[in-house]
């Protein structure tokens, strides 16, 4: 294998790996990460970056969390703080371990804006009916975002079944 004239710096490797992992299809993050780990050849770098890259991937691809305590999509719109998320429908917050894909530390998180919550719930019910009829196994979430000017509703849908394709053409 030919050697690069100027090897990539640690920061350039992180930027390149991050860019490639952002493009990994849903549910193929682990496979892409393993392949890049071999190509980069720097385990300490990859292990240091794994948690943040996995968290970014989970939020970009609306990773579903389905537990008896909650059923919600992980997105940047319902992230309360680092690794803590809100399920608006069930009014709970929880901590999410992106590497293990485990939710824990569930806590009640009541909505303070009753009028906004009524609008959010109405949109959620309509969206849920649509998703149920068009995307078997799909999931939806609706969030209230408070901007400087007004409150807005954000609807997110994940219509895939989250099963790794056994034959992805490679």
* Co-location of 42 and 92 in the same domain: no
Q: What is the mean pLDDT of residues 70-83?
A: 94
* Co-location of 143 and 70 in the same domain: yes
* Co-location of 15 and 88 in the same domain: no
Strand partners, 126: none
* Co-location of 42 and 82 in the same domain: no
| Contacts with 127 (C-beta within 8 Å, 6 or more apart), sequence order | 140, 142, 155, 157
> Coil, helix or strand for 60?
helix
Strand ranges, E, within the chain: 64-66, 71-73, 79-81, 84-87, 92-97, 102-108, 139-146, 151-158
Q: Is 138 within 8 Å of 159 (Cβ atoms)? A: yes
What pLDDT does 2 receive? Answer: 56
Q: Is 6 within 8 Å of 42 (Cβ atoms)? A: no
What pLDDT does 92 receive? Answer: 96
What pLDDT does 162 receive? Answer: 45
> Does any domain span residue 4?
no
If one counts the domains in the chain, the total is 2
Statement: residue 108 has pLDDT above 50: yes
Q: Is 48 within 8 Å of 14 (Cβ atoms)? A: no
Statement: residue 142 has pLDDT above 70: yes
> Coil, helix or strand for 104?
strand
What pLDDT does 80 receive? Answer: 94
Q: What is the mean pLDDT of residues 105-115?
A: 90
* Co-location of 46 and 68 in the same domain: no
pTM beyond 0.75, yes or no: yes
Q: Is 67 within 8 Å of 103 (Cβ atoms)? A: yes
* Co-location of 90 and 43 in the same domain: no
**Mean pLDDT over all residues of the chain?**
86
Q: What distance, in Å, lies between the first and last C-alpha atoms of the chain?
A: 22
> Does any domain span residue 91?
yes
**Residue 83 sits in a domain of what CATH number?**
3.30.1140
* Co-location of 80 and 92 in the same domain: yes
8: which 2 tokens? 């990539």
Q: Domain span at residue 106? A: 64-158
Statement: residue 140 has pLDDT above 90: yes
* Co-location of 51 and 78 in the same domain: no
Nearest to 79 by CA among 58, 110, 101, 50: 58
């Amino acid at each position: 294998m030919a050697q690069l004239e100027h090897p990539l710096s640690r920061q350039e490797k992180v930027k390149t790996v991050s860019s490639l992992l952002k493009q990994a299809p849903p549910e193929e993050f682990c496979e892409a990460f393993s392949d890049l780990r071999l190509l980069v050849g720097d385990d300490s770098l990859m292990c240091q970056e794994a948690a943040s890259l996995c968290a970014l991937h989970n939020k970009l691809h609306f990773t579903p969390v389905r537990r008896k305590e909650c059923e919600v999509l992980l997105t940047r719109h319902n992230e309360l703080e680092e690794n803590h998320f809100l399920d608006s429908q069930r009014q709970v917050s929880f901590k999410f371990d992106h590497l293990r894909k485990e939710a824990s530390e569930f806590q009640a998180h009541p909505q303070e804006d009753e009028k906004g919550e009524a609008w959010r719930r109405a949109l959620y019910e309509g969206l849920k009916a649509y998703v149920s009829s068009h995307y078997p196994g799909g999931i939806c979430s609706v969030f209230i975002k408070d901007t400087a000017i007004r409150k807005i509703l954000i609807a997110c849908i994940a219509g895939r079944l989250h099963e790794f394709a056994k034959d992805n053409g490679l």
